[in-house]
Structure 1
């Protein structure tokens, strides 16, 4: 059995400020873990180090036993690491080239990371769009011609194009209407069930945690306050800070926890 994603003692400083201080957790293959906390708790810095967008000052990140902490040696290793862990951001419009159609955006990723010829790439683009509920009209569109939910579906399709082992979703539904959030969360559940991809979900919204995650990690000032199965942590938190975080959040009509900020 493969090891999954193992993070041990991850740390990052900015001058005298400890942004992340000794964060450790394990994401098993195909698992789903949410990282929650107030603004400035270190959530995004943690996942940016895991993806490789920032360098850690200390600690290790391993995926299936392979160390991702050391600097990649050469272009081939950098591309291989990029394929293993992909990231979907809060605002897909900022990460999509406004001059490139959706189909060309996905084709570019396939040309970079696969050996598929043109015909095979076109077939794969169609397959990816179908997987995220988009079709020929959206394929020919520029990002400005799509809704926010459609753009986020494109961002997810682009991340899936390289068949990652882990998908990092940084506030990936925070900017969407509640009804569109529900559609994207349902899509993500279906993808996870079908592809066995592990999810690392950064969110302020505790309702999202209940819908998407098996485990939850609570951060405060870069440190882990509490972690464990979602139902246990949200229904019977052990730490005062977790209880404070939960009690500060208004409940939605359905009785689930709402947005923390």
Structure 2
């Protein structure tokens, strides 16, 4: 009998060292297809290093990364494989302004992605740009704007549209709402939940802010000094934390007025 195909993202024993500093030490987790996992911890806990290895921005010193059963651990061979991997896992950063070309309009930015990753002609790309902007709540005015002419929340929506353009299997959000004020945070988180319902994309949400975790994730992974100290369903981990470090993180969350989500 043929075994069922592995679905989702499976990370086993991921390690990364910088000189004498072991930044990530044996991190393992599973993100089911269409699931949402929050990776939490203080600055320096290894969160960002872990996800940078997943998307190929850093080379792991050990461990394996598989997506739907395909090994992503080895170096990609050739341009076609690099592009295919980029389509599978996309990343949205905390400050989208740094990842957007200041000389290129929003529509030009999205058109470039579609031209690189799809076989659409010019008319098809124009329609694709309009559809992507509509999905993230932007329109013609924003399409013609340069990044400097947009608000922080609008730039983050552009970054989401650019990531969605390649129809990824997994979307990595590295502190993606941390730089926004709380009302805009709520709007972006609502948008992310809607996109997940519609597209079935898996989310890997990296944050130091436990106040937003319940609103974005099914499961949570707690990192301390590059090591997993606790993991499990969000409600169980946040309501009844077992590890002292998780309890410390919970005690640091403001109890009132943190995030106006209904």
TM over 0.5: same fold?
yes
Moved over 3 A (4+): 253-256
The answer to whether the Cα contact below 8 Å between 2:105 and 2:145 also exists between their aligned partners in 1 is: yes
Q: Distance in 1 between matches of 2:38 and 2:55?
A: 15
Q: 2:62 maps to what in 1? A: 58
Deviations 1:122-146 (A, max 9, x none): 0000000000000000000000000
What is the Cα deviation at residue 222 of structure 1? 0.1
2:66 counterpart SS class: strand
| 8 Å Cα contact 2:211-2:258 kept in structure 1 | no
**Superposed, which structure 2 residues align to 1:89-238 within 5 Å?**
89-238=93-242
Question: How many residues are paired up?
Answer: 256
Q: CA deviation at 1:252?
A: 2.2
Q: Structure 2: how far apart are the matches of 1:70 and 1:255?
A: 41
Q: Could you tell me which residue of structure 2 aligns to residue 18 of structure 1?
A: 22
Structure 2 CA distance, aligned partners of 1:251 and 1:46?
29
SS of corresponding position for 2:63: strand
1:247 is matched with: 251
**How far is the alpha carbon of 1:249 from its aligned partner?**
2.5
Alpha-carbon distance in 2 for matches of 1:120, 1:253:
45
Alignment correspondent of 1:39: 43
**CA apart distance, 1:254:** 7.3
TM superposition score normalised by structure 2: 0.96
Q: Which runs of no fewer than 5 residues in structure 2 stay unpaired?
A: none
Q: Secondary structure at the match of 1:25?
A: strand
Q: What's the offset of the Cα at 1:21?
A: 0.2
Contact 1:2 1:29 in 2 (8 A): no
Say whether 1:73 aligns with 2:77. yes
CA RMSD of aligned residues (A): 1.2
Change in Cα spacing, 1:124 to 1:255, as seen in structure 2 (3 Å) is closer
Distance 1:167 1:124 in 2: 19
Q: TM-score, normalised by structure 1?
A: 0.96
Unaligned runs of 5+ in 1: 257-261
